[in-house]
Amino acid sequence: MNKILVAGAGGFIAGHLVVALKNRGFLIRAVDKKPLNQWYQVSAGVDNLVLDLTLKENSYRAVNGCNEVFNLAADMGGMGFIETHKAECMLSVLINTHLLMAARDCGIDRYFYASSACVYNSERQTDPENHGLRESDAYPALAEDGYGWEKLFSERMCRHFSEDFGLVTRVARFHNVYGPHGTYDGGREKAPAAICRKVIEKELDGREEMVIWGDGHQTRSFMYIDDCIKGIQDIMYSNIKEPINLGSSEMVSINQLVDIVEGIAGYRLKRRYDLNAPKGVRGRNSDNTLIREYLGWEPSIPLKEGLKQTYAWIREQMVRDREMQKTNTADDKHRH
């Protein structure tokens, strides 16, 4: 039976991937540098290891004894993190470098690399009415500073390891992914989770105003986690040799995203726009022509449906945390 390494397994997407692969009957080795109590999901019956894969010896230890590698490990987050931690994002190149070397030397059958839509030429993303980025739009290269350049370079490494050493590599360019069991506060969260959190905070506190980064007209597409997990597996076991988009083509503005979340919450807010906040490119959407040709499929879970699940999960966490805080405060008062 195949044993699969999932790198970055303590993160949002990879945590869901571990669950899906385990449910298919695979043996899993799950690796992340975070302590286990900080993983978003920890699966029982899995070989869970805490290792920093930027170190070469740890990458070899992780890969040894496995047949396949899914590399989703990276130091990253939403725009608030990417735009202020460019050097840290670029250091993730060490993870992919060492995992590729270990995959070559340990005889790995297949290697999946999680890239990003941040590899795309920024000059093709200046219009909010973006009609969709095609895979060829990554060149001539003008990627997102830091994070995007690291992803583009690592894509090329996968390609050349295939050409020079015969390693079977698959690369998917993730567009924004959201869903339960993800980051929703602390600075690394992406727009859907951040908007859900802001609306829930205001609702619970009875406030009437929320801050939106940018002017609200910037556009994105958002892919629900279930579509992402299906796409990862389908691409890994396909014959797709070039990097390919994995994202929804349902584009919305940030204002429209807020509208949807407010509709789910049944709570309307006044909006204050912070034009100095990190906001990324002006317009980004996924052209899914190629994935439809290859797989006869594309991510299709409607944003409203995915946001209902995401909103409910985040609200549950926030209410629970507030109740625990109240209990702890009451206990402290009682002790004193």
Secondary structure (3-state) at 246? strand
Q: 155 lies in a domain?
A: yes
Say if residue 158 is in the same domain as residue 90: yes
Do 137 and 196 lie in one domain? The reply is no
332: pLDDT strictly greater than 80:
no
The per-residue pLDDT for 82 is 77
Same domain, 8 and 114: yes
Whether the per-residue pLDDT at 312 is higher than 80: the answer is: yes
| Element holding 110 (H helix, E strand) | strand 110-116
pLDDT at residue 304 greater than cutoff 90: yes
Number of domains in the chain: 2
Q: Where are the alpha helices (DSSP H) in the chain?
A: 12-23, 56-63, 79-82, 86-90, 93-105, 147-165, 191-205, 225-236, 254-265, 289-295, 303-335
Give the C-alpha distances (Å, rounded to integers) separating 223 from 211, 230, 248: 24, 11, 5
Instruction: Find all residues with CB under 8 Å of 325, minimum gap 6, and list them.
Output: none
pLDDT digits (tens, 9 = 90+) for 94-131: 999 999 999 999 999 999 999 999 999 999 999 999 88
Same domain for 242 and 195: no
- Predicted local distance difference test score (pLDDT) of residue 294: 98
Q: Is 237 within a domain?
A: yes
Evaluate whether residue 278 is within a structural domain: yes
333: in domain: no
Rounded CA separation 286/175 (Å):
7
Q: How far apart are CA 251 and CA 327, in angstroms?
A: 42
Provide the annotated active-site residues: 147
Say yes or no: 138 and 278 in one domain: no
313: containing domain: 191-220+250-285+302-327
